[in-house]
Every structure is written in structure tokens, then in C-alpha cells.
Amino acid sequence: MPIPSLDFGGSGEELLFLHANGYPPECYRPLLSRLAEKYHVTAMVQRPLWSDSNPEELDDWHFLTDDFLAFLDAHQTGPLTCVGHSMGGIALLRAALREPERFKAIVLLDPVLFPPYFIRAWKILQSVNLLRQFHPLVTTAKKRRREFNDLGRLFKGFRRKSIFRYMDDEALQAYVEGIACKNDKGSYQLCYSVEWEMRLYIIAVWCDMDIWRGLPKLEVPTLIVRGVETDTFWEQTGKLVKRRQPKARIEALEKSTHLVPLERPTEVSNLIQSFFEENI
């Protein structure tokens, strides 16, 4: 079956987007619609959103890059500009390290990349099967509500949550509409399964030393955008990336977290467009 994608419009040069764990492409509509003013924006739909996918078959995140490169095999006509958020950023970075000739430039939005000492500790927890117990996001995902009757009430409930404090109403509405799919009971359910979300948290990070080994050889112009208040791509990680790959550019946006592309779509769009204009 062909790997699915969504077309967000635009008539310019092609820009390909990769979404985060738990965030279907539609959640990024405010950002992608701004980018579509200059580019033809396509978002690949990653494996957790495929109807026949099984999360228990996979043990690390390398499959994300395998899927992405397979998608490019089917669709690519020349080197591309690409943007990825969180896990999508890691899939994109690995692809650029493996096959740099496919890319003109890449942008990583708060990628899930931690320092080597953290990866080693994570690997120990993973080897003794303790991540399911200690990973805070797994605990959160387990409690996540899976069905909803009214998206308006869902929006109002989310509006009160601190995690969405930096998202304006346009962004929060796009998020609500992006995560909810109609079911056969006439209500809504999560488009992105909790089982997939938890599995991706558990199998992340532990094998990421290949990225640190590869960074000094990274040939593709790269921009990393992080939220100043992120709990994922830390400031110290950015400094280490710069030591390994001085050509990489790193920008931090105030009043933003790991959800920076949803919280600051205009600023993120401007950074992406400026970077691509300078490096293509």
C-alpha cells in the first residue's frame, strides 16, 4: 500500500513536513498554511496513523526513517526542503545523515535529541524494561481520554490546561480538529492511538548514539528551532550539537515549549522561510 500524505496547498517549490508522536498533520494547519503562501506543502502521514500498523512489531525509531526514505523513493523528483517536528525531526535528521543528496536543506523543530549521557542512562532503563513505569509521558498517555462527544467542550477543556498556555485559539482549534476522528457511533475518537503513542515513547532515544556519531559529517544545511521552555531539546543539547556540527544553526523562541510549531506558527514560518532563502 502506498504511504499516504496530505496536501496543504500552495503553488511554489515543494516542502515536505513530518509530524510528531501523537500529533497528526492536521494539528499543524496554522503553520503549514503560512508556509503554503510560499511553498507547495505536503505532509507525510507516518506509520502510527496507518490503519494496518502494529506498534509492538518495532523496537526503535529507525523504522521512521526507513518509511520516510521509502516515501521519497515513490514521490521524490529531486532534492527537497523538509521540516520535521519532534520525532519527525529525528526521522528527517537520520535521513539526511544516511542520504544527504536527497535534501537541499532541513529544519528540525524541537527534535527529540538528548545528550549522550542521557541516552546511556535511557538504554539501561530500556534493557531492564523499566521505561513503561518511569516514563512520565507514558503515564500521561495511559490516562488520555480516547472518545469525545463534543469538540466544542473539548476545546474549552483544553483551553484551561497549562500545557496549551502558549497556543492561541486558532492553534488550539486546529489541534482539537487534528486529533479527533469521527467514529461509527456518531462521536469522535483519537485519530492517533494511545498504544502507538506509548510504544514510541518507550522505544525512543536508546539507540540515538548513531546521530551523535554522524553529526560531524552532516552535509545538509540544517536549522534547529527550539522552545526556550522545552523539556525535550535542551539548551545544553544545542551547545553540544554546535560543537559537533558548527554549521548547524540553532534558534530559540521565547514563551514556547516542545510544541513550538503550534505555539509560534508565524515566527516559526518566518524562520523557516528565511533559512531556506539563504541556503537554497
The pLDDT score that the predictor gives to residue 139 is 66
- The arrangement of strands across the sheet holding 80-85 comes to 5-7, 39-44, 13-18, 80-85, 103-109, 222-227, 249-253
* Gap between the Cα atoms of 195 and 58, Å rounded: 12
pLDDT at 115: 97
CA dihedral for 249, 255, 261, 264, sign (positive or negative):
negative
Total structural domains within the chain:
1
In the prediction, which pLDDT does 186 show? Answer: 81
Q: What is the pLDDT of residue 77?
A: 81
Distance CA 69, CA 99 (A): 9
CATH of residue 198: 3.40.50.1820
Other C-beta atoms lying within 10 Å of the C-beta of residue 236: 11
* Residue tagged 552535509 (cell numbers): 219
Position 86 scores a pLDDT of 98
Strands of the sheet with 180-182, listed across from one edge:
147-148, 188-190, 180-182
Average pLDDT by consecutive 10-residue portion of the chain (280 residues)? 94 96 98 98 97 91 97 91 98 98 98 96 78 65 79 94 97 97 88 92 93 98 98 97 98 98 98 96
The reported pTM is 0.95
Its domain, for residue 255, covers 5-279
Which class for 11: exposed (0-12), middle (13-18), buried (19 or more C-beta within 10 A)?
exposed
Cα-Cα end-to-end distance for the chain: 33
